[in-house]
Structure 1
Amino acid sequence: MRSIELFAGAGGLGIGLHRAGFHPVQVVERDVYACDTIRENQRRAGSVVAHWPLEQGDVRTVDFGVHEGKLDLISGGPPCQPFSMGGKHKAYDDARDMFPQAIRAVREARPKAFVFENVKGLTRASFQNYFQYIQLQMRHPEVTARADEDWADHLARLEQHHTSGAKGGLNYRLVTRLLNAANHGVPQKRERVLFVGFRDDLDLEWSFPIQTHSAEALIWDQYRDGSYWDRHRVARKDRPENEALTARAARMEARPVGEAWKTVRDAIHDLPDPEHDTVRARAVANHRFQAGARSYPGHTGSPLDEPAKTLKAGVHGVPGGENMLRKPTGEVRYFTVRESARLQTFPDDYVFHGSWTETMRQLGNAVPVRLAEMVGRDVARRLRFAA
């Protein structure tokens, strides 16, 4: 199935969608370091991005009309700094807001479907009207802003159009949801807003896949039957005690249906310790110890036996107390790039280009590959059913 990937970054969303059956005919990314990462992997035999037609440049200069009527999917993560909790929260006043370009791509290429994603911050109350504005533009991409029309006036016109009854032209059926990646098998509590739209003339019904993993199942495995610790060969004397979680597990009548949340230990248990087993660690790509981690109030790292906290990109590099592992002893250290890639479910043969700070920025901005693949497979299935 033919697709275009916009704002590709290091490739998380695109790799997941590629695995789901979408094959990009154009991949657009502006950042040189992210492009270097993709290019470095393209030189590796068998890489999932080996045949991606990468175009380094500004999406605002791309003519998407050449793809009109030829695409199954347009996907991408418009830069999220205007909405990120770590950004400056300027939203529609921020020149980095690339949602208008994503919507232009849909308008010009008229794909059967689109998948866009953004950060949880987009759903904050202060952005509520703009969030609705984005969604209405996705539903009706041909209702464009007039010259010198501000976004609030354009929103009012979109609302009138949306409630006017029968509509001609290009329209999409849109479903939007805030998803926690941990609920879908990603070893990280990472919440992303997903926008999935199908062209109205296809007359398709669709809903997001149900979650497959839960915190309750993990609590059972850790504090009721102990199978989690047995699997990781943790001696009984070394297993943490938690009265609240033990009591919670005791109140469960049966193990919850589905799989347990994946933890940091699940993700990295087979990697050598980068701090104390440096010889073996250096044999693993992107697995180098980074000194300087410290814990301070509000930034205490990710416990080993829970899903990781959300990996952060940071406005000015990696925040000092983020992206850290907190060991059962209370000690902390930074996650290596490879460990972070595991937490984002990138394949182990996918390498990242640049300094530690730069590669962590790429990872902090990425969509977990597994989450993208999960959504993509369901979208692809629905499109094939309609074919």
Structure 2
Amino acid sequence: MLNSVELFAGAGGLGMGLSLAGFEHRAVVEWDRWACDTIRENQRRGHPLVADWPLHEGDVRAFDYMGLRDPIDVVAGGPPCQPFSLGGKHGAHKDERDMFPAAVEVVRQLRPRAFIFENVKGLLRESFATYFGYVLLRLEFPELVRETGETWQSHQRRLQRHKTSGSRSGLCYNVVFQLLNAADYGVPQLRERVFIVGFRDDLGIRWSFPKSTHSREALAAEKWLTGEYWDRHRVSKRERDAPPASLAGKLSALRQRNLRPTDERRAWRTVRDALAGLPDPEKEPEASAVIRDHRFQPGVRFYKGHTGSPLDLPAKTLKAGDHGVPGGENALVRPDGSGRYFTAREAARLQTFPDAYVFHGAWSEVMRQLGNAVPVALAHVVGASVARKLTEWDFAALANPGSPSA
């Protein structure tokens, strides 16, 4: 059994994905009491993905990691994203919520065989490029700590000199990062996030991010070449969307030749796909009332930049505002132009949480937890790929006892 330590666990999305990938958590650390209450409530209900989590409510910087007895295979987490969020103050290292230094320190202490960190797309903004490069260097060489009185810029230059020297002595990691769109991996949401993955140098592991499994082109083919998408949802021909003008010529040529795109990936999952089987909370309030976290929330307003998510595409990125839900975001737009807020249960489906997983707090608080979460399915894909490499290494070490040990 591979084990892990989960930092900045939130409502549990990343941790649940790693559980599905076969990791057993030795510690799960989260400071927010509402998110902790969500995990505790699901533990009380015996949810299998979190039932045995050793949850610790508190600051990741205050936890005693050296008290963990077993060597740790993976450290994972999503450091708070507000310092880098496109909707935040863009403070990066100046923002007291920047927890990348804390994450690096945990890696230094635990010396895991690998780590997985997730953050917002804004981390790749040009204005953050220098600091992001610094974060990557710190993760590559976690033992070269920042000295007392040393600025982060001076520390970065020292790390860069060490890297260019070619020295790989001590604790080092091979670090890669990539911007992943959750929709490309079967999540019904256009959610772009940066994943940073590192494997300890002495393992000699070479790893790359999993290939995407879903595509926009496959969805277009299901809609406008075969009609499979509309037929599956029993949408009449007069209610079906017309293809966008940019695709019309390509679709017409394929149709004339009776061909489908050569893309072997599956169709992007849409809002309609995700919500299948749930009653409309506005039109069927009595049926919706018996489903946990599925009550209608009035008051949605659409305006520029806050236009909601069309029913027959993956949802726009769910967001977590300072007070729950920002404006007209986190909302459904029907084909007739009307709309409403997503219920918490619908948002949970868009984040690929199981229906049996419940959330603690008022609607706005639950939506904040969901807006900050890592989609369970995406975490599973990345976690399973990392687990596969570590397991392959373990089998190779058993077959060749003389190889370097972990």
Q: TM-score, normalized by length of structure 2?
A: 0.93
State the match for 1:83 in structure 2: 84
Deviation at 1:174, TM superposition (A): 0.8
Distance 2:232 2:324 in 1: 36
1:355 maps to 2:362: yes
Task: Tell me the equivalent position of 1:346.
Answer: 353
Secondary structure at the counterpart of residue 228 of structure 1: helix
Check if 1:314 corresponds to 2:316: no
SS in structure 1 opposite 2:195? Answer: strand
Take 1:194 and 1:168, find their aligned partners in 2: how far apart are those partners?
Answer: 26
Give CA-to-partner distance per residue, 1:231-262, whole Å, 9 cap, x none: 11101111122351433423445232210100
Please name the residue that 2:400 is paired with. none
Alignment of 1:237-276 (within 5 A): 237-244=238-245, 245-252=247-254, 253-255=259-261, 256-276=263-283
Q: Give the structure 2 partner of residue 55 of structure 1.
A: 56
Deviation at 1:48? 1.1
Matched, 1:154 2:155: yes
AA in 1 matched with 2:86? M
How far apart are residue 224 of structure 1 and its match? 1.6
Partners of 2:216 and 2:91 lie apart in 1 by: 34
Say what the alpha-carbon RMSD is for the aligned residues.
1.2
Question: Structure 1 residues 162 and 69 mapped into 2: Cα distance closer, same or farther (>3 Å)?
Answer: farther
Write the distance in 2 (CA, Å) between the matches of 1:88 and 1:345. 29
Counterpart position of 2:397: none
For normalisation by structure 1, the TM-score amounts to 0.98
Contact 1:215–1:260 (Cα < 8 Å) also in 2: yes
Q: For the residues of structure 2 that align with 1:317 and 1:338, how far apart are their CA atoms?
A: 15
More divergent stretch after superposition (58-67 vs 344-353): 58-67
- What percentage of residue pairs aligned between the two structures are identical? 58
Alpha-carbon distance in structure 2 between the residues aligned to 1:383 and 1:233: 45
Q: Tell me by how many angstroms 1:359 deviates.
A: 0.3
1:318-370 C-alpha deviation (Å, 9 max, x unpaired): 11111000000000100000000000000110001001110000000000000
Provide the secondary structure at the position in 2 that maps to 1:61. coil
C-alpha separation in 2, matches of 1:283 and 1:123: 43
More moved, 49-58 vs 242-251? 242-251
After superposition, the C-alpha distances for 1:360-381 in whole angstroms (9 at most, x for unaligned) are 0000000000000000101001
Q: Which runs of 5+ in 2 are unaligned?
A: 395-406
* Preserved contact between residue 8 and residue 80 of structure 2 (Cα < 8 Å): yes
Counterpart amino acid of 2:33?
V
Distance change >3 Å, CA 235–CA 357, structure 1 → 2: same
Identify which range, 30-39 or 252-261, moves more after superposition. Answer: 252-261
Alignment of 1:272-283 (within 5 A): 272-283=279-290
Any idea what SS the aligned residue of 1:155 has?
helix
Count of residues in Structure 1 that have an aligned counterpart in Structure 2: 387
> How far apart, CA to CA, are the structure 1 residues paired with 2:117 and 2:161?
24
Determine if contact 1:172/1:199 at 8 Å carries over to the other structure.
Answer: yes
Say whether the 8 Å CA contact 2:182–2:192 is kept in structure 1.
yes
SS of equivalent to 2:61: helix
1:225, distance to aligned residue in structure 2 (A)? 1.6
**Which residue number in structure 1 is paired with residue 398 of structure 2?**
none
Partner of 1:297: 304
Shift of 1:317: 2.8
Q: Give the gaps of 5 or more residues in structure 1.
A: none
1:361-380 map, 5 Å? 361-380=368-387
1:53-73 deviation digits (Å, cap 9, x = unpaired): 000001111232334771111
| C-alpha separation in 1, matches of 2:244 and 2:89 | 40
Which segment is superposed worse, 349-358 or 221-230? 221-230
After TM superposition, the structure 1 stretch with the greater mean CA deviation from structure 2, 63-72 or 199-208, is: 63-72
